[in-house]
Chain A
Amino acid sequence: MSVVTNTTTIGAIDLPSRRNTELALLGFAVAIPVFAYLNVGLALDGKVPAGMLGYGVGLGLLAGIAHLLVRRFAKYADPILLPLATLLNGLGLVLIWRLDQSPRVIAKSMAQFGSYSPDAPKQLMYSAIGVALFLLVLIFLKDHRVLQRYTYISMVVAVILLLLPLVPGLGSDVFGAKIWIKVGPFSIQPGEFAKIVIAVFFSGYLMVKRDALALASRRFMGLYLPRGRDLGPILTIWAVSLLILVFENDLGTSMLFFGMFVIMLYVATERTSWIIMGLLMAVGGAVVVGSTASHVKSRVAAWLDPFECLKTAPEGSNMIQACDQMTQVLMSFGSGGTLGTGLGQGNSDLVGFAANSDFIFATVGEELGLAGVMAFLLLYGLIVERGLRTALAARDPFGKLLATGLSGAFGLQIFVVAGGVMGLIPLTGMTMPFLAYGGSSVIANWALIAILLRISDTARRPAPAPAPSPDAEMTQVVRP
Chain B
Amino acid sequence: MNKPLRHIAIFCGLLVLALLIRDNWIQYVRADELSTHSSNRRVTIERYASVRGNIIVDGKPITGSVDSKDPTYKYKRTYTNGPMWAPVTGYASQAFDANQLEKLNDGILTGNDDRLFFDRTLSMFTGDKKKGGDVVTTLNGAAQKAAFEGLGDKKGAVAAIEPSTGKILALASTPSYDPSSFAGYHDKDAKAWQALEKDKDKPKLNRALREIYPPGSTFKVLTAAAALENGKVTDINAATDTPEPYLLPDTRVAMKNHARGCENATLKYAMEVSCNSVFAKLGHEVGRDKMVEMAEKFGFNNAEIDTPVRAATSVYDKKMDRPGNALSSIGQFNTNATPLQMAMVTAAIANDGKLMKPYMVDELRSPDLDILEKHEPEEMSRPMSPKTAQLVQEMMESVVNSQVGTGGKAKIDGATVGGKTGTAQHGELNKARPYAWFISYAKTDNGSPVAVAVIVEDSKATRDDISGGGLAGPIARDVMKAVLDSKK
Interface residues, chain A, CB within 8 Å of chain B?
1, 46, 102-104, 106-107, 263, 266-268, 270, 307, 310, 327, 330-331, 333-338, 347, 350, 365, 369-370, 373-374, 377-378, 380-381, 384-385, 388-389, 391-392, 397, 400-401, 404, 407-408, 411-412, 414-415, 418-419, 422-424
Contacts and interface: CB of A to CB of B under 8 A. Distances in A.
Contacts of A103: 71-72
Contact of A391 (B5, B13, B41): B5
A330 B33 CA distance: 10
A209 B397 CA distance: 108
A331 B8 contact: no
Nearest to B72: A104
Given A334-B30, A389-B9, A419-B22, 9 more contacts: A330-B34, A350-B42, A370-B27, A388-B9, A388-B12, A397-B1, A407-B12, A415-B16, A422-B23
A419 B14 CA distance: 13
Contact of A335 (B23, B24, B39, B42): B42
A370 B28 contact: yes
**Main secondary structure on chain A at its contact with chain B?**
helix
Nearest to A270: B4
Contacts of A389: 9
B20 interface: yes
B26 A415 contact: no
B15 interface: yes
Interface residues of B, number: 38
B5 A422 contact: no
A427 B50 CA distance: 36
Contacts of A270: 1, 3-4
A270 B24 CA distance: 35
A331 B13 CA distance: 27
A74 B13 CA distance: 27
Contacts of B71: 102-104, 106-107
A333 B19 contact: no
A312 to B, nearest CB: 15
Nearest to B7: A266
Contacts of A384: 12, 16
Given A106-B71, A334-B37, A415-B18, A267 B42 contact: no
Contacts of B31: 334-338
A335 B35 contact: yes
Contacts of A401: 1
Contacts of B41: 347, 350
Contacts of A333: 23, 26-27, 34
A415 B19 contact: yes
A426 B139 CA distance: 55
Given A270-B1, A388-B5, A411 B12 contact: yes
Contact of A347 (B2, B19, B20, B42): B42
B42 A331 contact: yes
A350 B6 CA distance: 42
A277 to B, nearest CB: 15
15 contacts: A104-B72, A330-B26, A331-B39, A331-B40, A334-B26, A334-B27, A334-B40, A335-B35, A365-B27, A370-B23, A370-B28, A374-B23, A380-B16, A384-B16, A392-B9
A153 to B, nearest CB: 25
A419 B72 CA distance: 29
A429 B9 CA distance: 25
Contact of A267 (B5, B15, B39): B5
Contacts of A267: 1, 4-5, 8
Contacts of B30: 334
B233 interface: no
A418 B5 contact: no
B1 A414 contact: no
Among all A-B residue pairs, the 6 with the closest Cβ atoms: A334-B34, A103-B71, A370-B27, A381-B16, A411-B12, A415-B15
Nearest to A268: B1
Given A330-B34, A414-B15, A424-B19, A373 B27 contact: yes
B240 to A, nearest CB: 61
Given A392-B2, A397-B1, A338 B27 contact: yes
For B6, B19, B28, which residue has the most chain A Cβ atoms within 10 angstroms? B19
B15 A385 contact: no
A347 B45 contact: yes
Contacts of B18: 415, 419, 424
Contacts of A307: 37, 39
Nearest to A330: B34
Given A334-B35, A335-B40, A350-B41, A381 B23 contact: no
Contacts of B42: 331, 335, 347, 350
